[in-house]
Amino acid sequence: DTAVSQTPKYLVTQMGNDKSIKCEQNLGHDTMYWYKQDSKKFLKIMFSYNNKELIINETVPNRFSPKSPDKAHLNLHINSLELGDSAVYFCASSQPGGVAFFGQGTRLTVV
Amino acid sequence: GESVGLHLPTLSVQEGDNSIINCAYSNSASDYFIWYKQESGKGPQFIIDIRSNMDKRQGQRVTVLLNKTVKHLSLQIAATQPGDSAVYFCAENTDNYGQNFVFGPGTRLSVLP
């Protein structure tokens, strides 16, 4: 009965490849997010979607493209992966103005 | 502006003692704050929240204090246990729609036996 689930948990890939991370929430929330956590544990928001519409798009390279097929899913596609993209990516969901619930994270390693 | 940590501060406490974790937030207009706990290999988990119309809020073994004058937030954990060892983050809501939470740099809490 995982509330926010993301797959895969680990992803190791070569530079230049394209990869996707999937996220699903079963909480009935209207808002979903992608956060990036670097090696120093700093958490920064990348995107926020409300009812499938993009609300927040922080300064993120356009190689990163979120896709929300419905309000329970927010996937993250990354083109032309670079070494600096290595990080842990977290999906989260909330009701607007409410507490965000996070997935377990996807550790992306670009080699 | 956003707070950017150069390193992760660490707080070490003896089991059974009280812990106080501090956070300086950046935006004086922020009206909602959340403390999260992140254990190794897991996502952040909600601990307690507070709105700007309050100075203090208590939960089970945890208390959050908000000082808007100096833009300071603290998390107090009573009778700290080994299971409290984790990284703790404060997060502030910086927009009117509740959809942009800015996280602080985090504090690692180590509980000593």
Asked whether the beta carbons of residue A41 and residue B87 sit closer than 8 angstroms, the reply is yes
Query: What span, in angstroms and rounded, lies between the C-alpha atoms of A7 and A104?
Result: 9
pLDDT at B99: 64
For β-strands A106-110 and A10-13, DSSP reports them as parallel
Instruction: Measure in Å the smallest separation between the Cα of A77 and chain B Cα atoms.
Output: 20
Give pLDDT, residue B3: 40
**Residue B98: pLDDT band with limits 50, 70, 90:** low
Paired with A64 in beta bridges are A78
Question: What mean pLDDT comes out for the span B25-40?
Answer: 92
Q: Which residues pair with B109 in a beta bridge?
A: B11, B86
For the record, the structure tokens of A10 come out as 């680990």
Question: What is the amino acid identity at position A16?
Answer: G
Residue A97 has its nearest CB partner, among B7, B8, B98, at B98
From the list A35, A42, A90, which residue is nearest B5 (CB)? A42
Question: What is the separation, in whole angstroms, between the first and last Cα of chain A?
Answer: 34
A45-78: per-residue pLDDT in tens?
A: 998 888 878 877 777 899 999 999 998 999 999 9
- Contact A64/B at CB under 8 A: no
Residue A80 has pLDDT above 80, yes or no: yes
